[in-house]
Every structure is written in C-alpha cells, then in structure tokens.
Amino acid sequence: MAKAKARCRTRWPLRRPRILPFAVVAAAATVLALALFVLQLPLPAPVDFFSHSFSHDRSRSRSHHPYFSRPPYVPAARLEPASDICLKPTPFPFPISNIPLAASHPLTMALAAETTRVVSLFDFSDADVNAHVQEFLRQMSEGLKRDGTSISQIPTYVTGVPDGTEKGLYLAVDLGGTNFRVCSVMLNGDTTFNLTYNKVAIPKDLMVAKTSRELFAFLAKQIELFLREHHADHFESSTRRRHTASTPQGYRDEHIFRLGFTFSFPVKQLGINKGKLIRWTKGFDIPDAIGKDVCALLQAEIDRLRLPVKVAALVNDTVGTLMARSYTSTGKHRSILGGIFGTGTNGAYIEKTKNITKPIEGQYDTTTGEMVVNTEWGSFDNQLNVLPSTPWDRALDGSSVNPGIQMFEKRVSGMFLGEIVRLAVLDMMKNDEVSLFKDIDSSFNDWRTTTNISSESGVLRAWGLDSAILSVAASDNSPELSTLRQELENNLHVYNPSLEDAQSFKAVANAVVRRAARLSAVAIGAVALQSGKLDDPEEEVLDIGVDGSLVEHYPFFRDMIYEALVAVDGIGPEGAKKIRIGIAKDGSGVGAALIALVAQRMEKPGDFLADLRGDIKRSLDAMQANNAIDEPSMSTTALVVGGLIGVAAIAAIWYNRQR
C-alpha cells in the first residue's frame, strides 16, 4: 500500500501536465452539456401532465416567454381625475361697474310663439305618465316570459343582496360609456369600503374597432398598468410565482385577484361570469363581438399578458348600483332597484324567481326565491306603442348607430338629450321668421352688439351639443341669464347671445329634460308597483339606489321624478313618500367587487388553478408542435454537441493514461 502510494505520489506530478488540458476540457464539456440539459429538465410537479408541460414553459421562458422578453414599461395612460359631465362654471362677472345693466326684454313675439310651440311638443302629462306605466308593466311581464322582447328582463344569477358585512380586496373594471375605469376595492365589512381607481377615456376608434380583440387588449393593458401602479408588490410576486406554479410555495388560487367586470351593455347572462353580448349601445359598434362571451374575451387578453387576474363576475352597472346601495345603506330597508340615469339608462331590480317563467340556464342558488333581473329598460317600447315622438326624436334615431333600438334611452339619457335640444334649436334657427341667435336689428339686442354664431359652433354639428349645458341652463335663474349666455359663448361659440336667445334656449332645454325626468318616473314607478311592496304595511320604505350624471347633477331631476310619481295610479302622494331615491356612488366598482366576492364563495377550491394549468398546457402543446416544425429543439442540439465533446475528452484521457 505504502509503496503504491509512493508510486502514485511520484507518478502524479509527472503525468499532470499532460492530462490537465484534457481533464479541463472534459469537465467543461460535461458541465456545459449538463447545464444545457438541466435547463430543459422538468421541475418536480405533483400532477404528471402539468410537470411535463411546465418543463417546456421554463425552457420557452428563457428565450421567448413574454415574462422575459416583455416590452419595455409603457407609461400609464393619461389618467383623469374623477369628473362629472355637468359643469358648474363660475358666474359671469356681471354687472361690471361702468357698463349699464342690460334691460330684460320679453321674448320677441315670433321667437316667443315658436318657443312655446316647440316646448309644448315635449309636454308629458300625468295621463301620459299613467299610460306609459301600464305599458311598461306589460312589457316587463312579457320580458319575464320569453326572450327577444323590448324589455329584455335578463336574469343575472345574483340571488341575494349584501348586508354590509362583506370583506376582502377585489378588482373591478367598468366599461360602459366614454371611460374605462380600473379599481381595487377593499370591502371593510362594516358597510364602508376604500376604492382606488384609474380612469382613462376610451379612444373613439376603439368604440367602433374592426375586431373586439383591439378593444379587449386595450382593457387588459389598462389592468396591467393599474396593477403595476397600485399593487406592484402583489403583481411582481404573482408573476414570479406563476413560474413556480407546481411547487408548494408556488401559484395558488389565493394569489389571484378576483375581478368583477362591469360591462354596461345588454348581455344574455349564462352564469355569474359568462354572458353573450346581445347588442352594443351608447355609440359602440363592433359587430364581431355580438354573440360572444365578453368575460372570455377579456380573460383571453388578461392571460396573454400573464396577469394574476381571474374574471370572476360579470355585472351590469345597474346590478352593481343595487349591490353598492345595499352594502352601504344602513337600517333594515333593503334596496329593491338600482337605476342608472347617465350616459345611458337602465334598471335592475329584485324579482321573485317564480315570476321568471322563461328558462334560466345553468346553476344558481334557489334558496332565496329571488333573483336580480337586469331589465335593459333602455329598449322599452322600441315599437313606439306609447313613447312620444317629436320630429327631433325621429331625426336623432335616424342618425344614430342603432336606429329603432334603445328608443326609451334615446329620450331619457344624457348621451341623447343634448342632441335633441340641438336639433330643435337648429330648426328654430332655420326659420327666417324667428330671430334665434341672429340679430335682425342690433337694437333688439340688449348688449347693443350683433349676435353671431361661428361656423365651428357645436349647434351646427351633429352631436355637437354636450348635455352639460342643459344643467347650466336649468341652474341659471338670474334675470339676465348671464351664466348661460357666457356658456353659450364659451362652449357653443354663439357670440353675444341676447337675453331672448338664452330664454328660448333655456325653455327648450328644460322641456326636453323635464320629459326625460317624467319618463324616468315611469320606469321607477312601474318597478315599485311590480315589487308589490307599496301596499305592504310592513314595508315602510322602498329604497332605490340611483347613479349617473343626470340624476346626480341636473338640478331638481329627482324632484321632477317625485312630482310625476305622485300622479301614478297606485302610488299617489302616500306611495311617493314611501319611495326613497338615494344616490349610490361607485356602484360599478363596489357592486362588481361584491359580486366577485359572491362568485368566489361559489367556486370550488382549485377551480381557477386547474383552468390555468389547462391553459398553460394547451398553449405549450401548441408551441411544442410549432417548434417541431420550425426549429430544431435546443435541448437535442445541446445534448449532441455537449455529449460529443465529452466523449472525445474522455477518450483523450484514456489514451494518455494508456501511454
């Protein structure tokens, strides 16, 4: 032994210089081969098919996976502070010391007569209100029996309302008009909540995009920007975990944000997070989306960006409003209706499930015996059985993207009221007998200046009159209507309007909005009657949550609704007193979060992760199939090259030793 050792000691220094280069090459080659090989190795995973597919995910991720090759950070889209349509400009600085006060003339005869005539066309009497309520109830009942009716009466799969004790952090997005909002909502469990949101205007070209993918990709991108800005920790850690999904510390259901998707268009709901678009409204028009599941469209784009988000609930803004009102209202009276009177109009109310006699597909909780129904009342009386129709209502409908549809909405909601006023005013201007926004004789004008209208004026352009000015007209009760006249100048480029011009404009605008308020009372009154609670002595209050710029900011809009409710047979002054109409803010955020919570409670554990794994496997199988055709597999190349070098190196060592 000792001899042998001695021999070894003496031989080794002699041999080392000749063997070392080969050994180093062999070791390096082996390490290289192993390293390349190990990078392809599957991670240990509990589920067989998943471990297999995930191994490929890792290898792809080094070269092509979006997480590693994602584009540089794109700055957040322009965020606007919460804003409302109705402007309250500061009063016109009047009187100015050395300018004489304007004399207030009555309307000139022809203008006065024409204004009276136009205003009378928007009259909506108590008898009209009653006839409309009866027709509304008839169309509601028709909608509960079958599909394809004017009032769609869509079952929402929401079978209860919250009681204020719900807790948790949820995401909500809101697509329904001119803006897209992404929010995170912390429900505190004590009727309060904290809400963080970003709001971005929807680019006009996306509202009429060629494919729905363009719109939904934009929405998913906004969700990503929001998560990066407001939930960076959660976002980064979830993204990391996604790559270790199979380990015990990896991606689990609780790492995924549940998102409530407030989608405020008519959708045939097929489940709590599934629904097919029936039609677009409010100026949107992307035919390719009709009939598709909007949750799936959004989830697909979210998945493309690998966001830790599951679209858990699909919610109409009216349903969200009803939920938010129920969550925040204290006391024993639960809300029966959520209504929107803003860009569009609609209502969702609680109906007895036994009254919904048309089939309700899929699963829902039957224990409450009730379900929230999304009426889609914007399409009440599309057939014009009773709805009033002035020449300007007809002209507006003809120039809209959806003629013959949303006929109630086109007489009630903010998106359309400005255009009705514009069309009426324009016709008055075209009448040579009538001096509106033009001076026949400048002495008529109390400013002793000449009124003129710019060719750029919104009055001369279709959809150019923003409904916000209607609020200004209603709230300016000064003798000179100075605020309104300033607004006509600033926003509509009508220079030096006379008092008579402003009086006429105000009268027409008020008439159009008053008719809208009384039509709104028709919808609210009909739902109150349908609830059967007006005569129930146990029900002291019928609570109604409403949201939207009209009801929130137009002066006395709610008062005009009450005035009409008093005139409804079966409601009257006593019934109207029982009806409490309250503003429900942030319904589309808080309400959607609440429904996402309900949906989460209905999920079976692991549901989403199973879906996610299935998705990953499918996409990887597809990638693998492509790879097989397109490029030689990197692992095979690496092994062959590394292996050959290793074998050559070992052969060299062996050869040296033999020598």
Least distance from C-beta 417 to ligand BGC, angstroms?
14
Question: Residue 162 or residue 378: which is nearer to ligand BGC going by CB?
Answer: 378
Beta-bridge partner residues of 352: 370
**Tokens (6 digits) for 466:** 């923003």
Question: Residue 128 or residue 409: which is nearer to ligand BGC going by CB?
Answer: 409
CB 457 within 8 A of CB 424: no
Q: Does the footprint of ligand BGC cover residue 340 (CB under 6 A)?
A: yes
Question: Residue 193 or residue 265: which is nearer to ligand BGC going by CB?
Answer: 265
Give buried/exposed letters for 579-610 (b at 16+ CB in 10 A, else e): bebeebbbbbbbbbbbbbbbbbebeeeeebbe
Question: Residue 283 or residue 555: which is nearer to ligand BGC going by CB?
Answer: 283
Distance CA 320, CA 585 (A): 10
Site string for ligand BGC, 355-384 (x = CB under 6 A): ---------------------x-x------
Distance CA 636, CA 633 (A): 6
Least distance from C-beta 556 to ligand BGC, angstroms?
22
Among 282, 325, 485, 514, binds ligand BGC (CB under 6 A): 282
Only segment of 313-321, 326-334, 438-446, 503-511 that touches ligand BGC (CB under 6 A): 313-321
Rounded to the nearest 5 degrees, what angle is found at the Cα of 436, between the Cα atoms of 447 and 463? 115
Q: Does the footprint of ligand BGC cover residue 264 (CB under 6 A)?
A: yes
Distance CA 114, CA 504 (A): 9
Question: Residue 405 or residue 521: which is nearer to ligand BGC going by CB?
Answer: 405
Residue 590, φ and ψ in degrees, nearest 5:
-65, -45
**Tokens (6 digits) for 643:** 């292996």
CB 160 within 8 A of CB 365: yes
Distance CA 459, CA 461 (A): 6
Question: Which residue, among 227, 231, 219, 211, has the nearest Cα to 173 in the 3D structure?
Answer: 219
Q: Does the footprint of ligand BGC cover residue 317 (CB under 6 A)?
A: yes
**Tokens (6 digits) for 463:** 């959809």
Among 162, 344, 545, 591, binds ligand BGC (CB under 6 A): 344
Question: Residue 102 or residue 417: which is nearer to ligand BGC going by CB?
Answer: 417
Q: Does the footprint of ligand BGC cover residue 416 (CB under 6 A)?
A: no
Only segment of 190-198, 342-350, 421-429, 646-654 that touches ligand BGC (CB under 6 A): 342-350
Q: Does the footprint of ligand BGC cover residue 281 (CB under 6 A)?
A: yes
Catalytic annotation, residues = 264, 279, 317
Among 265, 408, 416, 557, binds ligand BGC (CB under 6 A): 265
In three-state secondary structure terms, 60 is helix
Least distance from C-beta 567 to ligand BGC, angstroms?
26
Q: Does the footprint of ligand BGC cover residue 152 (CB under 6 A)?
A: no
Least distance from C-beta 180 to ligand BGC, angstroms?
13
Among 156, 316, 328, 482, binds ligand BGC (CB under 6 A): 316
Distance CA 136, CA 148 (A): 16
Q: Does the footprint of ligand BGC cover residue 176 (CB under 6 A)?
A: yes
Q: How many residues bind ligand BGC (CB under 6 A)?
A: 16
Among 159, 246, 329, 346, binds ligand BGC (CB under 6 A): 346
Q: Does the footprint of ligand BGC cover residue 157 (CB under 6 A)?
A: no
Question: Residue 153 or residue 510: which is nearer to ligand BGC going by CB?
Answer: 153
How big is the chain, counted in residues? 659
| DSSP-assigned letters across all residues of 301-344 | HHHHTT-SEEEEEEE-HHHHHHHHHHHH--SS--EEEEEEESSS
CB 233 within 8 A of CB 144: no
Q: Does the footprint of ligand BGC cover residue 318 (CB under 6 A)?
A: yes
Query: Under 8 Å CB-to-CB from 529, ≥6 apart: which residues?
Result: 133, 137, 568, 570, 571
Only segment of 55-63, 344-352, 443-451, 464-472 that touches ligand BGC (CB under 6 A): 344-352
Distance CA 541, CA 175 (A): 32
CB 67 within 8 A of CB 239: yes
Least distance from C-beta 588 to ligand BGC, angstroms?
9
Question: Residue 342 or residue 575: which is nearer to ligand BGC going by CB?
Answer: 342
Residues 180-199 that bind ligand BGC (CB under 6 A): none
Q: Which residues bind ligand BGC (CB under 6 A)?
A: 176, 264-266, 281-282, 316-318, 340, 344-346, 376, 378, 409
